[in-house]
Structure 1
Amino acid sequence: MSLQGKRVLVTGGARGIGLATAKLFEAEGADVAIWALHPESIEEVRPQFRRPIVGQALDIGDFDAVRQAYRTLREELGPVDILVNNAGYTLTTRFLEEDPAYWERVVSTNLWGVVYTTQTVLPDMLEAGSGSIINVVSDAGRVGMQGEAMYAASKGGVMAFSKSIAQEFAKRGVRVNCVSPGPTRTRILEENSEHGDAGKLIERMVRRIPMRRIAEPEEVAQTIVFFASDASSHITGQVLSVSGGLTMV
């Protein structure tokens, strides 16, 4: 699955699935850029890469910030060949205890961030006549998840958006697919696990996994790189779960 010389942008690339993905792309020969919310998180991970990376701190829920960051990225790296929309946000909470500010942050990051980044990067892919967009969604968006109502809604929206974009631009050489992790060993999962009700919900979810374990970030990264490579050259508009059999749809 060599990706020698490809230019890759990974949002949420400073930790968890995003970091594992960025490192695997680099190992496959790609030139990597990562976007993250906090500049210090980018600086913390730079030593984990063998070659220099382009790292930018921004809120992907801000359309103007996305467009400005991409203009800067193009100047430093060039137009992006592969876009991985990985950045996400959620808390495991009960719906009736949530407030509109929380809902807005979830939707802004998980749905609008994907829309803004895709519309910004897509013209370069169309001009090149090729490109791959991989959106990291969630099995919560496929089948629902207790304690994750707004997260599930936002990720379900990304799946519908991805299929629509895949249909619209397939004939112009751009492929769009979704990787749908189940519970994965990330900082967000660990932080949520420390809170009473959330921890119990997560424990219950893990017990339902046929393989009886959560995924490692590297296992999800392998699937993302597959969708970016020529190994999946005739695949678009698909959602692939990496969940140990938690969902089989």
Structure 2
Amino acid sequence: MNRIDLTGRRAVVTGGARGIGLATAERMIESGASVILWDVDGDAIEAAVGKLGPQASGSVVELTDETSVGAAAVAALAGGNVDILVNNAGITGGNGKTWELDPAIWRKTIEVNLVGPYLTARALVPAMAEAGYGRIVNVASIAGKEGNPNASHYSASKAGLIGLTKSLGKELAGSGVLVNCITPAAARTAIFDQMSQEHIDFMLSKIPLARFVEPAEVAAMIVWLSSEDCSFSTGAVFDISGGRAVY
């Protein structure tokens, strides 16, 4: 495994207690960073921090609540600069035709997947800009490019996250803070529990490499985008879809 240098950097990873978030935290710690996990599940945070060791800590955060996010940001910044923000937390909201989806589920999916990253950026960007350095990586989805059938709420939320990435990247250009996003194909994580088997089979059928991406593979891309080696990309979209993306 190549070691990407994050020596001395401090990172916040949302949804960091499991799946891609946990894999990212592991890779960051191996690269020399310390990581703060923001997750809604306190028990999962405790288990993850126990696994990751002394370079990890965690806070229970409701990412759709600006008060909760703001308090977590104040606590994180009290320990020093936050150099990296990975907006990984997300939900699928289940599957169904657009006109059959419950409006509450539609709104909740947008709140978690799009409003949450806005609130975390709002809370942490000013300190990054003042420090003159930062890396923000938003975990979008290939669904945000293509629009998956029976997942309009999820697809729309991830398309919105791509747009947020582009806008924020332009706003911060010249500040030393770079903002990029990734568009992975599906990874077999606990999020599959929110999907129908029919939808899972559909997603697999669309991937030319004929397998789901591994969380560690996504983590490797995130960690590079979080490093100083990523120095001339901002507002960009990085594909990791096994050949599914056509642009």
TM-score between both structures, scaled by the size of structure 2: 0.95
Gaps of 5+ in 1: none
Q: Unaligned stretches of 5+ in structure 2?
A: none
What does residue 126 of structure 1 align with? 129
Q: C-alpha separation between the residues in 2 aligned to 1:92 and 1:206?
A: 17
Q: Which amino acid aligns with 2:121?
A: T
Give the residue type in structure 1 aligned to 2:203.
M
1:157 CA drift (Å): 0.8
Deviation at 1:156, TM superposition (A): 0.7
- Distance in 2, Cα, partners of 1:90 & 1:214: 16
- Structure-1 separation of matches of 2:171 and 2:202: 39
**In structure 2, distance between residues paired with 1:91 and 1:162:** 22
Aligned to 2:100: 97
List aligned pairs for 1:16-95, cutoff 5 A.
16-75=19-78, 77-94=79-96, 95=98
Q: Distance in 1 between matches of 2:14 and 2:194?
A: 21
Confirm or deny that 1:246 pairs with 2:244: yes
Report the equivalent of 2:203: 205
Higher share in helix = 1
Residue type of the alignment partner of 2:34:
D
Q: Which residue of 1 aligns with 2:217?
A: 219
- Report the more deviating stretch, 199-208 or 61-70: 199-208
Aligned match of 1:150: 153
Farther off after superposition, 108-117 or 94-103: 94-103
Could you list the runs of 4 or more consecutive aligned residues of structure 1 that deviate by over 4 angstroms after TM superposition? Answer: none
C-alpha distance in 1 between matches for 2:139 and 2:76: 21
Residues 101-112 of structure 1: pairs in structure 2 closer than 5 A: 101-112=104-115
For 2:10 and 2:47, how far apart are their aligned partners in 1?
Answer: 22
Q: Which deviates more from structure 2 when the two are superposed, residues 96-105 or residues 11-20?
A: 96-105
Shift, 1:44, TM fit = 1.4
Equivalent position SS for 1:185: coil
| 2:125 partner SS | helix
The alignment partner of 2:229 has SS state of: helix
Q: 1:183 Cα shift?
A: 1.1
Q: Tell whether 2:10 aligns with 1:12.
A: no
Among the aligned pairs, what percent are the same residue? 40
Give how far 1:177 is off: 0.2
Whole-Å separation in 1 of the counterparts to 2:222 and 2:110: 22
Aligned twin of 1:169: 172
Shift of 1:52: 4.1
Contact 1:8–1:82, Cα closer than 8 Å, also in 2: yes
Shift of 1:175: 0.4
Inter-partner Cα distance in structure 1 for 2:183 and 2:206: 17
Contact 2:33-2:55 at 8 Å conserved across structures: no
2:184 aligned with 1:186, yes or no?
no
Instruction: Provide, for residues 17-46 of structure 1, a one-character-per-residue CA deviation record: whole Å limited to 9, x for no partner.
Output: 000001110110001100001111101112
Give the counterpart letter for 1:232 in structure 2: C
Instruction: Tell me how far 1:245 sits from its aligned partner.
Output: 0.7
| Secondary structure, counterpart of 2:242 in structure 1 | coil
CA contact 1:192–1:199 (8 Å) conserved in 2:
no
Q: Distance in 1 between matches of 2:12 and 2:71?
A: 15
TM-score (norm 1): 0.94
What is the number of residues matched between the two proteins? Answer: 243
